[in-house]
Structure 1
Amino acid sequence: MDELDQQALTGAVIKRHSLDLAELWLDYVALGGEASEQEIRDYSSGAETLPEKDRDALAQAVNEHCVAANLAVRAPFSDSPLIRLHAEPQDPYSSK
């Protein structure tokens, strides 16, 4: 997955579920993350980038919070594929 796509989708999950960034940061650090709490805040708002290892540690922390709260939407990992909405390319002039 593209770095910016992962960042946007992770930030959207955090915002959608109103996840507490301080709690996420503590769990992220426990998973081996090395960024500061402010860097995580900046990343989730789209103002900062993180290395792949840190993006995936944050995604894991976010997903653990989602599982604990029984929330359906999850943050993607760096190796997650983007799912296409249409299996076949559509003709732009088609009425389908």
Structure 2
Amino acid sequence: MDEVDQQALIGAVILEHGLDLDRLWLAHLALGGDASEQAIRDYSAGLAGLSVTDRDALAQAVNEHCAEAGLPARTPLSGSPLVQAHTGPRGPGPSM
């Protein structure tokens, strides 16, 4: 997963559903992340980046909160096959 795309998707889901950043930060820590609360706030606003570990921990925290609330939106992890298919080897068809 491209870091910029992942950041945009995570931020969009947080904003769309009004998820509580304090709760997401705590859940992110429980899932192995170690970014500060301010770093999570900055990342979700598109103002700063995070390590792969922190991005994935935050994405998982967002996904768990969405699942608990019955919300359909989910955020991809850095190793998302959907995005890897986009950036990976091409299937049959014309080559560029």
TM-score using structure 1 length: 0.84
In structure 1, runs of 5+ residues without a counterpart are 85-96
Rounded Cα–Cα distance in structure 2 between residues aligned with 1:4 and 1:71: 23
CA root-mean-square deviation: 1.5
Q: Which residue of 1 aligns with 2:51?
A: 51
Shift, 1:78, TM fit: 0.4
**1:12-91 alignment to 2 at 5 Å?**
12-80=12-80, 81-82=82-83
Greater helix content: 2
Shift, 1:79, TM fit: 1.1
Give me the identity figure in percent: 63
Shift, 1:70, TM fit: 0.5
TM-score using structure 2 length: 0.84
Query: What amino acid is the match of 2:19?
Result: L
- Secondary structure of the residue that 1:76 maps to in structure 2? coil
Rounded Cα–Cα distance in structure 1 between residues aligned with 2:55 and 2:27: 13
Shift, 1:36, TM fit: 0.3
Shift, 1:16, TM fit: 0.4
In structure 2, runs of 5+ residues without a counterpart are 87-96
